[in-house]
Every structure is written in C-alpha cells, then in structure tokens.
Amino acid sequence: MSSDNPQTSTVILPPAMLGMLGGGQLGRFFVMAAHEMGYTVTVLDPDKNSPAGKIADVHLCATYDDVAALEAMAQSCAAVTTEFENVPATTLQYLAQSVTVRPAAQSVAIAQNRVLEKNFLREAGLPVAPYAVIQTAQDLPENSSNLYPGILKVARFGYDGKGQARVANQAEALAAFASFSGNVCVLEQMLALDYEVSVVLARDVNGTIAAFPTAENSHLGGILDISIIPARGSAEIRQQAQVLASQVAEKLDYTGVLGVEFFVCNGALLVNEIAPRPHNSGHYTLDACTTNQFEQQVRVLTGLPLGSARQHSQAVMVNILGDSWKPDTVDASEPAWDKAFAQSELKLHLYAKQQARPGRKMGHFTVVGEVADLVLEKAMQARAALGIGEH
C-alpha cells in the first residue's frame, strides 16, 4: 500500500498555502499551528460558520465533492490533509492527482469503514476483539454465539457512540439492525474492560515515528470525557500500546498523524479503532508536550522533520460538551468560566462553535503540573465547577 503520491519529495516551506478538508475543531487547531509556523491555510467545509473556516486565510464554503472547490484547492495549495475520516476517499484521490495529500486515500478509506478496519487489523496480526460482519439480518448469529452480549456498530459514519447498540441476544440484534436501516454492521463481543487507552503518533514520509505518551481514557455517553496522561497502570501496558500503535502505522504504510484506541482486558491490549487524523485524546499535547499533535500534522504534511513528542508536564484533559450550557433550560447560561480560570494550571480551549447542543464537543481544558495525583484532583474540581457529568 502506498502511503503517498508522486509529488512528495520536496519540503514545503512557509509561506506556502496548505489545504484542510474539514472545518471542525481539529481543523481549527491545524490552522492555528500552521499560522504559528508561517503557513497560510485554505479550509474546505460546507458550513459558513465552521470553527476552522472562521480563522482560515481562505474558506471554500462547499461540499467535499464540489469539483470547482477541489480544483481551486488543487491550484492554490501545496499540500492537503484532512481533519476527519468521513471526507470521501474519492476526494483525496482526486486531489492527489495534482497535489501532495497526506494521509493517503487508501489509509483513510480503511479507517472510515469498520469492516475494512477490523479485517485489516486481524489480517495484520494485531489483537482485536471477536467480531462478525453483518451484511444482512441472516448474518446475525444464533443466541448460542459467544458474540452475545455484544455491540452492533454501523460500518460507516458512526462516532462518539452514535450508530451503536448493545444487544444481549439475536432478537435485540435484529431490532438494532433494523433500526440502522439494514446498513452493513459489525457485531463485536462485549468485553469486560479493565480500562481504555490510546496512543497518538506521527509517521513521516520516511517511516520515522514519533509517538506521544499513552493516554488513559474514560467515556460518558459514548463520548470521551477524561484523558489522564501518562496512563495509570503498568509501564508494560503503556509501552506495548506504543509498540502496537506503531505496528498499525507501519502495516498501513501510513503518513500523517494517527490515533489508535485500545481496550485493556484481563491485562492484555486489544485494538479498538484507528483514526487517520489528530485525536481527541491527544489534545493534551497542546499544553503538555514539546510538540503538539497539530504541529506534527503540519510537519508531516510539509515534509519537515518530526518534532519531539516529549511530555514535559503531567496532564489531565477534560472534554466540555454542550450540556454544560444547560441548553434545555430557560436560562441557557454560559458555564462558570471564572471558576475554571481560577485554576492557575488549567488551560481552556473553546472551539468557537455557534450553538451549544447536548453531546456536542464545545471545548476542552487541560490541567498540567508536576504531581499526577494533584493534577487529577484539580481537573476533577474544575470539571465539577463546570457542571460536567451532571446530566
């Protein structure tokens, strides 16, 4: 599998124009990193109020398959990347005909389809939970299957707990499959988890890898809630997660920033999902590492050497969802930002989204410090002050 396209041998230096497909918070942080490094950025996103589009040098407000917009991007940008995996792979292929695109379309195509992703991981010899591909209702196993209880997940466009259903038996699986309109799914065995971890890494065009420290993650309603870095638990698990994540990148022949999520079950690691982009659990790198994940994304895209992934401070990252605005109440007031800012070691990042909605990622904060237990205590105090987890 080729990780790159022919126009990749030269280093792209400032003030070149870079392209970003997607205008969400990940794209916004990319624009910020690129601007700090002296680059200009064109963002393609259909939302006129997209967080990244607001601060880009050029915002092409169009769909991802708009040929005129893609031509404009191909003609003006020296290289193009993406902030989320659901950009059509055909869009990346189209752009790659005339401009450097990283990561490559085939890598993104695998990550945006759970069937391709699971099959790739299994065929690559990487540890995964037992699963079955469900193309029709007849593919759902009988009640005697060890896949029950399980989780039925749509193969495409499922994220943050969406497009998933817990099923205890065939009848529940049939009902869930019908609710997903018969779309192709993956049925995964439900596991008794010790905890969950993730690794974010960057791999450049030469195959050099810089992996950030392993994060320990907890979720609320299927959405990442808290990341603790470095992960608690054994040093062996932290190290093995780094090794497995690097193997994923190498097997994919991947060029870019990659997030790899793991389950820890009975002291062993299983690969859960891969994300061909910066990852929510890597946001702590903005405040706790020598180089953050978005600067690494710029470096990989432009052919620059990777920056150091060294963590210089203990860190805890907490997501801030639209629930903290209490949008269902008469007084849809802002969260208690004054209480958050009272924490001298807290760094607040809001995403400039137009409307707060329950479950929508509106921002995050990271608490940094020298003593892990104290950092976690302060983060949990700030989390409570912002009303996170109350709903």
pLDDT for residue 201 is more than 90: yes
pLDDT band at residue 333 under the 50/70/90 scheme: confident
Domains, in order of start, for the chain: 17-111 (3.40.50.20), 130-189 (3.30.1490.20), 195-385 (3.30.470.20)
For residues 293-316, give the mean pLDDT. 98
* pLDDT at residue 5 in the model: 47
Helices 293-302 & 25-36 angle (0-180, nearest 10) = 70
87/96 Cα distance (integer angstroms): 14
pLDDT score at 159: 59
Tokens standing for 55?
A: 């601060």
Residue type, 234: S
| 197 neighbors 219 (Cβ within 8 angstroms) | no
- Return the axis-axis angle of helices 67-76 and 89-96, rounded to nearest 10°: 40
**Helix segments in 145-292, DSSP class H:** 170-179, 235-252, 285-288
What are the CA-CA distances from residue 126 to residues 248, 267, 314 (Å)?
8, 16, 30
Q: How far apart are CA 203 and CA 256, in angstroms?
A: 6
Counting every residue written for the chain, the total comes to: 391
- Write down the pLDDT at residue 160: 53
C-alpha to C-alpha distance for 285 and 292, rounded to whole angstroms: 5
Q: CA dist 290 to 247, 294, 344, 351, Å?
A: 24, 12, 20, 22
Q: What is the rounded average pLDDT of the residues 267-296?
A: 97
**CB neighbourhood size of 181 (10 A):** 7
> Would the pLDDT of 6 be above 50?
no
Q: What is the distance between the alpha carbons of residues 379 and 202, in angstroms, rounded to a whole number?
A: 27
Cα dihedral value 71, 73, 77, 79, nearest 10: -90
Q: Quick one: pLDDT at residue 306? A: 98
Task: Count CB atoms within 10 A of the CB of residue 191.
Answer: 17
Pair of tokens at residue 258:
């990659």
Percent of the chain surpassing pLDDT 70: 94
Per-residue pLDDT band at 158 (split at 50, 70, 90)? low
Is the pLDDT at 328 greater than 90? The verdict is: no
Q: What tokens were used for 25?
A: 């918070």
* Token representation of residue 378: 């302060």
Residue 161, pLDDT > 90, answer no
- φ, ψ (nearest 5 deg) of residue 48: -65, -20
Q: Which residue from 316, 349, 333 is spatially nearest to 387, judged by alpha carbons? A: 333
Residues 98-135: pLDDT tens digits? Answer: 999 999 999 999 988 999 999 999 999 999 999 999 99
214-248 pLDDT tens trace: 999 999 988 999 999 999 999 999 999 999 999 99
